[in-house]
Amino acid sequence: MSYKIHMMGQNDPRTLYQFDRLYAWKHGFEFAPATVELCTTNACNQNCKYCYAGRTATVCKIQDDILLHCFEQFADAGVGAVIIQGTGEPLLHDLLAQAIENGAKRNLPIWLTTNGVLFSDDLCRRILPFLFCLKISVLENDAERYAKQHGCGKSQWHRLIENIETIVAMRASLNLPFGFTSTVYLTEHNFRHLYHIVKFCKDIGFDFVYISEPSHNTKSLSNEGYASDHMDRNELNDVCAQIMELVDDDFKITFKLHCSGDILTGAGMHTWEKNYCQGIKFYTIVNCDGEVYPCWRYWGNKPYSYGNLYEKSFSEIWQSEQRKQIEKLVMETPPDGDECLVCGHCRLNDLLNGFKKATKWVHFL
């Protein structure tokens, strides 16, 4: 593990470092998004309890030629970084390794989020040298709890642990620069094991662990609510304090628990604020059918697509009148239900609105 080598800075106020974009945004100029999230497929080898991807029987995979060349288009448009995740398991697309290599040739920092089970030695060799960061989604230190949480067989946990060991060894032997991180979800079932789960993550070689709780909406496969809301606060505080003793220069932990008010969610029908969703100008989503969407709420909702990469380049789509009209529509339309509760732009929206509301005190540093 080596947080200080691989991940130093990930906790910085990165939105506020977007000087050029913030200037353009403030003055009403056009600018490319800092981040594009790319979904290579909606298929998945797991069926996680907390998944809100709303998977349908129809499998969608982004067209090979589009996947192979979209990174060039993002780079040409001025995009800052690409996160490969989306509504399925990215490694299920056969050409992912080649596409990542193409993206790296254009100097695009690439983050891959995966459940990690489908890595092979060959895929590790082809993908890892070109990554900026690798995130293994939602880890456990016990095969049975993992299988229950991820809706899969216990063999997937064993496979994953072997893969993590391969990844850590390869990073060390080839001196690869990528950061290595994971999420641990606090649940009523793992609370008593939480310290050992995080210690397991440290010992196996992660640089950083994010301890949180899943948000839910009506698309979620199950809704167990936020576990931390029902726990004894003193007991929870004691466990968190014990876990924080694992932190050192090479291994960092962040807690974001609902009971502490750290989990932001998007607006509901009655708490909606017009023009609040400014984050859609800085972060956008490319779906596995080539459609470019503003945010999670509209994922798969074609009338809200900015355009399709099968028909136009990313630059053409981003500079189009259609995108401006859809943005206006998004900013003006309250949600119908709880679809925004899993909003991925929350923190971004929050920071940007804070920035807009700067008071006369702004220059007293």
Residue 112 binding ligand SF4, by CB under 6 A: no
Residue 297 binding ligand SF4, by CB under 6 A: yes
Which span sits near ligand SF4 by CB under 6 A: 185-193, 291-299, 301-309, 311-319? 291-299
Residue of the chain from 81, 267, 285, 286 that contacts ligand SF4 (CB under 6 A): 267
Widest Cα–Cα separation across the chain: 59
Residue 149 binding ligand SF4, by CB under 6 A: no
For residues 296 and 306, which CB has a smaller minimum distance to ligand SF4 in the complex? 296
Non-local (6+) Cβ contacts of 177 within 8 A are: 5, 6, 132
CA separation, residue 326 to residues 184, 305, 331, 333 (Å) = 35, 7, 9, 10
For residues 49 and 252, which CB has a smaller minimum distance to ligand SF4 in the complex? 49
Which span sits near ligand SF4 by CB under 6 A: 158-166, 201-209, 274-282, 355-363? 274-282
CA separation, residue 104 to residues 61, 129, 162 (Å) = 21, 9, 26
Residue 96 binding ligand SF4, by CB under 6 A: no
DSSP 302: G
The two structure tokens encoding residue 247: 């932190």
- Residues present in the chain in total: 365
Residue of the chain from 34, 53, 127, 134 that contacts ligand SF4 (CB under 6 A): 53
How many chain residues bind ligand SF4 (CB under 6 A)? 23
Return d(Cα 177, Cα 242) in angstroms, integer. Answer: 30
Non-local (6+) Cβ contacts of 266 within 8 A are: 296, 297, 335, 340, 341, 342, 343, 345, 346, 349
Query: Least Å distance between CB 85 and ligand SF4?
Result: 8
Contact 67, 95 (CB under 8 A): yes
Query: Least Å distance between CB 108 and ligand SF4?
Result: 23
Residue 127 binding ligand SF4, by CB under 6 A: no
Query: Least Å distance between CB 47 and ligand SF4?
Result: 5
Return d(Cα 128, Cα 239) in angstroms, integer. Answer: 34
Residue 51 binding ligand SF4, by CB under 6 A: yes
Which span sits near ligand SF4 by CB under 6 A: 30-38, 102-110, 170-178, 294-302? 294-302
DSSP H or E segment with residue 134: strand 133-136
Closest-CA residue to 54 (of 277, 330, 303, 339) = 339
Residue 295 binding ligand SF4, by CB under 6 A: yes
Return d(Cα 309, Cα 291) in angstroms, integer. Answer: 6
Contact 279, 289 (CB under 8 A): no
Query: Least Å distance between CB 59 and ligand SF4?
Result: 13
Query: Least Å distance between CB 67 and ligand SF4?
Result: 18
Phi-psi bin for 276: left (phi > 0), alpha (psi -120 to 50), beta? Answer: alpha
Residue of the chain from 15, 41, 46, 141 that contacts ligand SF4 (CB under 6 A): 46
Residue of the chain from 5, 23, 30, 47 that contacts ligand SF4 (CB under 6 A): 47
Site for ligand SF4 in 326-365 (CB under 6 A): 330, 340, 343, 345, 349
Residue 88 binding ligand SF4, by CB under 6 A: yes
3-state DSSP assignment of residue 47: coil
For residues 88 and 205, which CB has a smaller minimum distance to ligand SF4 in the complex? 88
For residues 124 and 340, which CB has a smaller minimum distance to ligand SF4 in the complex? 340
Nearest 5°: the CA angle 244, 202, 50 is 85
The two structure tokens encoding residue 115: 């459940």
For residues 46 and 215, which CB has a smaller minimum distance to ligand SF4 in the complex? 46
Q: Footprint of ligand SF4 on this chain (CB under 6 A)? A: 44, 46-48, 51, 53, 88-89, 115, 137, 266-267, 277, 279-280, 295-297, 330, 340, 343, 345, 349
